[in-house]
Structure 1
Amino acid sequence: MRGARVLLQAQAIALSLASTFMIYTALGLLTNCKSPVVVVLSGSMEPGIYRGDLLFLSNNMPQNYVTGDITVYQVAGEAIQIVHRVVETHNGPEASSHLFLTKGDNNDIDDVSLYQGLERLERKHVIGRVRGIIPLVGYVTIFFNELPRLRNHILRP
């Protein structure tokens, strides 16, 4: 009897995880984002966006990013996605290309030093534009990432 109960609980957990994955994948397809939902990991966008806020993104084409847009970008070779505001846009070398300069609202300087040698971000680096925010919900993710011993203990008792 106990073995059947454990099996049913494991099945419920598996179905819950599969449903979450399917919803996340569907969101990615609908929004054209590889990461349609992200957690803010730093305070560089305070006071508008705080560490632990959950952000919803979209990257629907054609999408022109303009000065003032809050974007999430990732430069090749970097593991971390960065949430910052577009402070300048420029036309690129090709007629249809745009280049961006970003900066955190709470930072004194722009992000050029984060671009891995690039002078400006290209469209391909931008994951999406922030469309919605749920405050502080992402702290669960931050909590588990910053306490790996706890994460390992819970996931592997």
Structure 2
Amino acid sequence: MSRTVRILGDALLWVAAALGLLCAVLAVLTSVCGMQVMLFSSGSMEPTIPAGSAALVAPVQAPDVQVGDVVTVARGTGELPVTHRVVGIEDSTSAGARLLTLRGDANAQDDPAPYDVTEVGRVVLSVPGIAPVVSQLGASRMLAPLGVVAAAFVIWGLWPRRERRSRA
């Protein structure tokens, strides 16, 4: 029985370590590289990015955007950004800016007006179904329990273990 518990504990410790490494990598990408994690609540980009997905978005200058890219742009003060596919590009009157016409993959029509942008976020990768988990893990009420669980794993992983002596 104790061998099974030890194996299960070791497996849980490896899973926790992998999740911790993933969090560390995401922290570096967001703080050093300027990337963002976007959570999708609507299905406007289905089937490419279904509702409930999380995506990693990298900053890109407007001149580097191409038709077909999936980008995140700001809509206005107090509004959530929109992530849709670029279906048209025109020059803007502003220096370094472009007018992007966007449309969600699930939408029959383009967005109402082009977006005049100098920088956008380009979707690098998306993971379906993970947005609710990410959202809950980021809630303040979850931080203390997660800290306790992480501390318990560290203590358990570092706790000295008795070696069994073989009978010879």
Shorter-chain-normalised TM-score: which range? 0.5 to 0.7
Does residue 132 of structure 1 match 2:134? no
The correspondence of residues 77-88 of structure 1 with structure 2, limited to 5 A, is 77-88=77-88
2:124 and 2:106 map into 1 onto residues whose CA distance is 20
List runs of 5+ in structure 1 lacking aligned partners.
Answer: 1-19, 113-118, 145-150
Instruction: Flag the structure with larger Rg.
Output: 2
Letter in 1 for 2:34: N
SS in 2 for 1:83: strand
% identical aligned pairs:
25
- The residue number in structure 2 matching 1:26 is 28
Q: Residue 123 of structure 1 aligns with which residue?
A: 117
| Matching residue's letter, 1:46 | E
In the TM superposition, 1:1-157 aligns within 5 A as 26-33=28-35, 36-61=36-61, 64-94=64-94, 96-112=96-112, 119-124=113-118, 126=120, 128-140=121-133
Q: Equivalents in 1 of 2:67, 2:82: separation in Å? A: 17
- TM-score, length basis structure 1: 0.63
Structure 2 alignment gaps of length 5 or more? 1-22, 144-168
CA deviation vs aligned residue, 1:58-86 (integer Å, no higher than 9, x gap): 11457611110001122122431221101
Contact 1:50 1:135 in 2 (8 A): yes
- TM-score of the superposed pair, with normalisation by structure 2: 0.59
2:69/2:86 contact within 8 Å kept? yes
Q: For residues 153 and 37 of structure 1, what CA distance do their matches in structure 2 show?
A: 20
- Give me the whole-angstrom Cα distance separating, in 1, the residues matched to 2:30 and 2:141: 31
Return structure 1 stretches of 4+ with deviation > 2 angstroms.
22-33, 60-63, 94-97, 139-142, 151-155
Distance 1:62 1:25 in 2: 25
